[in-house]
Amino acid sequence: KNLDLVIRGGEVITASDHARADVGVRDGKIVAVGIGLPKGKREIDARGLIVMPGGIDSHVHLAQPSAEGTVMADGFESGTRSAIAGGNTTVIPFALQSRGMSLRDAVADYHRKADGQAYCDYGFHIILTDPTPEALGQELPALVSRGYTSIKVFMTYDDMVLNDRELLEVFDAAGDCGALVMVHCEGYDAIRFMTEKLEKAGKISPYYHAVSRPEAVEREAAHRAISHAEITGVPIMIVHVSGREAMEQIRWARNRGLRIMGETCPQYVSLSADDLKGLNMDDTGSKYVCSPPPRDPESWAAIWSGIQTGVFQTFSSDHCPFYFEGKLGKKSAAARSSFRWVPNGIPGVAVRMPLLWSEGVMKGRISPNEFVALTSTNHARIYGLAQKGSIAPGFDADLTLWDPKRKITITQSLMEHGADYTPWEGVEVTGWPAMTILRGEIMMRDGEVLGNPTMGNFLPREISNEALRARESGDPF
C-alpha cells in the first residue's frame, strides 16, 4: 500500500534516539521510519530540519472564566491555533468545576466550548473545587473511566482553595480510581495575610503581587502537598514550580522514594519579579502577573538544575491569557486599584518550545533528546496518551519540523493568540518550528496556520503510568 506522506531526509529525534531517516505516514499514523522509503502521495523535504514528536502542552487554560468574571483572551479556536503556531499538536486544558456544579456538567461545559473549535488534539484535566462525596465517590471514577484521567486542585484562591482535610480526601479518592493529581502549591492564608498587609501600606502596584507570594509560600505548600501524598500513598504532580525552594522539596521527596513529579514553565527561566515593576499604575508590570510569580536569575539557575537532574519531567506553558488594554483589558485596569485584582496568568503556548530550545539546547543545558522528553514524550507518558509523543510505527503522525538555527525575534503578530500582547515581546530566540503536522495533515508551514478548527480531536486518556505504578504497590486505604 502506498504511503500518504513521506517526510524525507530530516534528522529524526525522539526522547531516546536520533538518526537521519524518512518518516512514512498512512491514515494519520506513522507506519515506517527508515532510510529510502518509497515515494508517498505527498512528499516533504525535511533536509536541514529536525523531525520531532509534535509538542504536547499539558498545562493550558482556554475559555476558563476566573474569579472576577474576567474573560479569558483565548477560547479553543485561538488558543489551539496559537498552540499549532508554536509547534504543538496536543494540548490538555482544564474543565473547571465551579463550586456547586457537578463534575459531569463541568466536563460537558468545556466540551461545548471545544467541539469543532480546535486546531489541535486535546484532552481535559478536571479542576476540582467542590469535593462532595458524590463528586469523589461516583463522578470522578466514572469520568476517569471515560478518559478524564487527571485532576487539578488548588491550595489558594478564594473560589478554588481546598483545605488540608479536603486535599487528603481528594488525594485518596484519586488514588482509588487512578486519577493523577496536579497540585497548585501556594499557601492561601499566607497570601491573604501578605496581601492585606501590603494593601494597608499602600503597596498596590503589580510588583507587590510577587512580594505577596514569596518562595516560602510555595515551598510550604509544596511540602504540605508532598506530606498529604505520602500519607495517602498517591502520586502527585506539582505544577508550575517557580524556583529553588519548591524544587528542592520535590528533589527531597523523590530522593525518599515518593512518587512526586514536577512541572516548570518558560516564565521561571526567563522572566523575573523585576518585570512586574512599572513606573506608574498604567505601566506594563501587570503583563507579567502570574502565579507563582516569576522570580530572579538565581531562581532560573535552580530551575535549570532541576531540569537537568530529573526533578522536573514536564515543561509546560501554563498558557493563561488575559487582555492588557481596551475594554476587556483587566490586566491594566485592575492594576490601578490593587495587584490583588489583576488576573493571574500569561500567554505562552506559542513560545514554550522556542524558549526551551533557545535557552536549553542552544546553550548546552539539555540535549535535543531531553528537549523532546520535556516538551512531548513525558507529557504523553504521564497523562496517559499512549498514541502520542514518539516517532515510531503505530504512533499518531504528530510531527514538528524544527528549524534549529532559525533566529526569530518574538513579537505579538507571530503568536496567533487572542491576547493583545506577549510577555516575551522583543526577545530573540534561536530555533523555531517550520512545520506542524497533526495526524499527517500539515497544520502550519513557515508561520502560516493551515487547516481549520474542526481538525482537532478530543482525546480520552488512559490511566497515567504513574498512577498505575502507585496502585501496584498498594493503597493504604
* Sites of contact with ligand URP (CB under 6 A): 61, 184, 240, 290-291, 318, 320, 344-345
Regarding 379 and contact with Zn ion (CB under 5 A), the answer is: no
**At its nearest, how many Å lie between ligand URP and the CB of residue 440?**
32
Q: How big is the site for Zn ion, counted in residues (CB under 5 A)?
A: 7
User: Which of Zn ion, ligand URP, none does residue 70 bind (CB under 5 to 8 Å by kind)?
Assistant: none
Regarding 475 and contact with Zn ion (CB under 5 A), the answer is: yes
**At its nearest, how many Å lie between ligand URP and the CB of residue 401?**
30
Burial class (CB in 10 A: 0-12, 13-18, 19+), 257: exposed
- Tell me the angle at which helices 215-232 and 164-177 cross, rounded to the nearest 10 degrees: 50
In this chain, which stretch among 101-109, 176-184, 202-210, 321-329 interacts with Zn ion, using CB under 5 A? 176-184
Which of 148, 402 has the CB closer to ligand URP? 148
Closest CA to 183 of 196, 168, 205: 168
| Cα torsion 346, 277, 155, 99: sign | negative
**At its nearest, how many Å lie between Zn ion and the CB of residue 62?**
11
Regarding 184 and contact with Zn ion (CB under 5 A), the answer is: yes
Largest CA distance in the chain: 73
**At its nearest, how many Å lie between ligand URP and the CB of residue 112?**
21
In this chain, which stretch among 72-80, 298-306, 316-324, 397-405 interacts with Zn ion, using CB under 5 A? 316-324
**At its nearest, how many Å lie between Zn ion and the CB of residue 445?**
30
Question: d(Cα 175, Cα 100) in Å, to the nearest integer?
Answer: 23
Regarding 477 and contact with Zn ion (CB under 5 A), the answer is: yes
Which of 68, 475 has the CB closer to Zn ion? 475
**At its nearest, how many Å lie between Zn ion and the CB of residue 292?**
8
**At its nearest, how many Å lie between Zn ion and the CB of residue 321?**
11
* N residues, the chain: 477
Reading the block at residue 56, the C-alpha cell is 504536547
Which of 21, 290 has the CB closer to Zn ion? 290
Reading the block at residue 92, the C-alpha cell is 490538555
User: Which of ligand URP, Zn ion, none does residue 475 bind (CB under 5 to 8 Å by kind)?
Assistant: Zn ion
**Residues facing residue 429 across a β-bridge:** 408
Which of 58, 205 has the CB closer to ligand URP? 58
Residue nearest to Zn ion (CB): 184
**At its nearest, how many Å lie between ligand URP and the CB of residue 177?**
23
The helix/strand/coil state of 24 is strand
Sheet of 150-154, strands arranged across? 94-96, 125-127, 150-154, 180-184, 236-238, 260-264, 314-315
**DSSP string for 320-335:** -----SSTT-HHHHHH
User: Which of ligand URP, Zn ion, none does residue 290 bind (CB under 5 to 8 Å by kind)?
Assistant: ligand URP
**At its nearest, how many Å lie between ligand URP and the CB of residue 122?**
17
Question: d(Cα 434, Cα 432) in Å, to the nearest integer?
Answer: 6
Which of 220, 396 has the CB closer to ligand URP? 220
Q: Which of 4, 121, 139, 176 binds Zn ion (CB under 5 A)?
A: 176
Which of 22, 215 has the CB closer to ligand URP? 215
Question: d(Cα 398, Cα 448) in Å, to the nearest integer?
Answer: 17
Which of 3, 247 has the CB closer to ligand URP? 247
Question: d(Cα 277, Cα 273) in Å, to the nearest integer?
Answer: 7
Burial 422-456 (b: 16+ CB within 10 A, else e): bbbeebebbbbbbbbbbbbbbbbeeeebebebebb
Q: Which of 318, 403, 416, 420 binds Zn ion (CB under 5 A)?
A: 318
User: Which of Zn ion, ligand URP, none does residue 169 bind (CB under 5 to 8 Å by kind)?
Assistant: none
Question: d(Cα 306, Cα 269) in Å, to the nearest integer?
Answer: 11
Question: d(Cα 420, Cα 477) in Å, to the nearest integer?
Answer: 49
In this chain, which stretch among 17-25, 262-270, 318-326, 330-338 interacts with Zn ion, using CB under 5 A? 318-326
What are the residues binding Zn ion (CB under 5 A)? 172, 175-176, 184, 318, 475, 477
